Amino acid sequence: MQVRISGGARVALESAVVTHGLPYPQNLESARRMQQAVQESGATPCIVAVLSGTPCVGISDAELETLAQYPAPSKIAMHNLGIARAMQLTGGTTVAATVYLAHQAGIEVMATGGIGGVHRDGRDLSGDLPILARTPALVVCSGAKAILDLPATREWLETYGVPIIGYQTDELPGFYTPHTGLRVDATVYDVDALIDLWRAHRTLGTAMLVVQSPPAEYAIPRAEMDALLERALRECAEAGVMGSATTPWLLKRLAELSDGRTLRVNLALLTANARLAGQIAKRLGVAGE
């Protein structure tokens, strides 16, 4: 592993959103916006990726641009991280692989859009969840990806000791929408309160999720989002899309059905989450922790 950026207030950023979450050039735009938001908060962004088999904590802008346009990049999680190293693959790291590599590099704060979770068929579980259950990391997100079973994901996190802290919200957001009806474990309204909760929790050995709603000017009402999801899921099943191809297919179809609104809210929440993560990392750095 190469740790390109060491010391100071650092925020880890996943790269699977670049390689598999958004189309080009929006993927490159989103990554640069996240980096800028972290920097404006007084912290240092560290995009985590695997380049030619080498896990890198921090990549250059030229490497980021290459990754954003890389032909057939790998989606690298924990189950294939060793394979990627041995086969010298290039690709984006998921939340799980990013949290793992960031922890190895001494970074405790990460920002993303939405974590993986329990799939709606109940038969599949994202590899993000087990890593969150055994890694002390503070992960800023807007809940789990909307295409998942959110109540089951909420229950799994509770069962395995991962608290959900709402930043200026008392509900677990639904990624594109602020409302799901699912309660968080605690609500705070400023960064200092988040830091206090993190100090109390981090010795327990599991992650802590800090969730905030998507920016209000871009958020999609819950009823409208539910209708879009129902149609996209039905069409996905009819098209016979399965496995790792499901999420990219659904995200693309949701963008089409919403005339690009889901894409716009995705970009907005990624930036907002990076900004909050930067503020947290900066505050931790000032405290010398």
Q: What is the CATH number of the domain that holds 73?
A: 3.40.1790.10
pLDDT reported for residue 7: 85
Residue 14 known to be catalytic:
yes
Task: Give, in order, the Cα–Cα distances in Å from 50 to each of 66, 68, 280.
Answer: 12, 13, 26
**Containing structural domain, residue 29:** 2-286
Give the residue ranges of the chain where pLDDT is below 70.
286-289
Residue 95: Cβ-neighbour burial (10 angstroms; 0-12, 13-18, 19+): buried
pLDDT reported for residue 246: 81
Active-site entry in 14, 108, 171, 282 = 14
Residue 171 known to be catalytic:
no
What is the pTM assigned to this prediction? Answer: 0.95
Residue labelled with tokens 């505050």 = 283
Active-site entry in 75, 145, 171, 282 = 145
Residue 247 contacts residue 95 (beta carbons within 8 Å): no
pLDDT reported for residue 286: 58
C-alpha dihedral, 254 to 258 to 264 to 267, nearest 10° = -10
Residue 113 contacts residue 98 (beta carbons within 8 Å): no
DSSP of 194-205: HHHHHHHHGGGS
Residue 203: Cβ-neighbour burial (10 angstroms; 0-12, 13-18, 19+): exposed
- Give me 161's structure tokens: 């000791």
**Which residues have C-beta within 8 Å of that of residue 135, sequence separation ≥ 6?**
99, 100, 103, 205, 206, 207
Provide the domain count of the chain. Answer: 1
Which conformational region is residue 260 in: left (phi greater than 0), alpha (psi within -120 to 50 degrees), or beta? Answer: left
- Give me 60's structure tokens: 């250059």
Which conformational region is residue 89 in: left (phi greater than 0), alpha (psi within -120 to 50 degrees), or beta? Answer: beta
Residue 21: Cβ-neighbour burial (10 angstroms; 0-12, 13-18, 19+): buried
